[in-house]
Amino acid sequence: MHIRILAVGDRQPSWVDDAFGNYTGRYPREWKFRLDALPTVHRKKNDKSRQAMDAEGDLILAKLNAAEQVVLLDERGTQFSSQELADRLAEWQADGRDLCFIIGGPDGVSDPVRQRADKLWSLSRLTLPHGMVRTLLAEQLYRAWSLQIGHPYHRV
């Protein structure tokens, strides 16, 4: 199974890249993990239109494979405990399809992207910066995997 993150935002602070790389470097080889970063569409000051979000949505949809399981990180999604995420990850792995996590742009994602998602997952009810979401997602996937294999990383 391949696991990838499709994230809007191609320029992140160095601390994000460092922390993200720290966790993804620990992933099992069989995940064949990769990050696909898409550029954030330029927004004009005080532009309240959905044009940028729709354009980013088109970029996201163009990068998705028809057979992939898609998990959209969204504030309206389901929240999981660490053990629940480990259990859900096991289900996704058993499904056999490749898995893609989507992190949308600064305004969220377009309706077609939301409709394409197989699951909506909320990391928190808090609003988080995109770099933090990317890092937190990487860490939580590592934690879920460590729970699955009984690695001591996760302590209760």
How many other CB atoms are found less than 10 A from the CB of residue 152? 6
| Mean pLDDT across the chain | 93
Between 50 and 86, name the one with better pLDDT.
86
Per-residue pLDDT of 24-66, as tens digits, reads: 999 999 999 999 999 999 888 877 678 889 999 999 999 999 9
Per-residue pLDDT of 93-107, as tens digits, reads: 999 999 999 999 988
Length of the chain, please? 156
| Rounded distance between C-alpha atoms, residue 144 and residue 126, angstroms | 21
**What strands lie across the sheet with 99-103, from one edge to the other?**
34-38, 3-8, 99-103, 69-78, 119-121
Q: Which residue has tokens 């720290």?
A: 22
Look at residue 138 and tell me whether its pLDDT is greater than 90: yes
Q: Which fold has domain 3-40+51-149?
A: Alpha/beta knot (3.40.1280)
DSSP string covering 45-104? TT--SSHHHHHHHHHHHHH--TT-EEEEEEEEEE---HHHHHHHHHHHHHH-S-EEEEE-
pLDDT of residue 115: 97
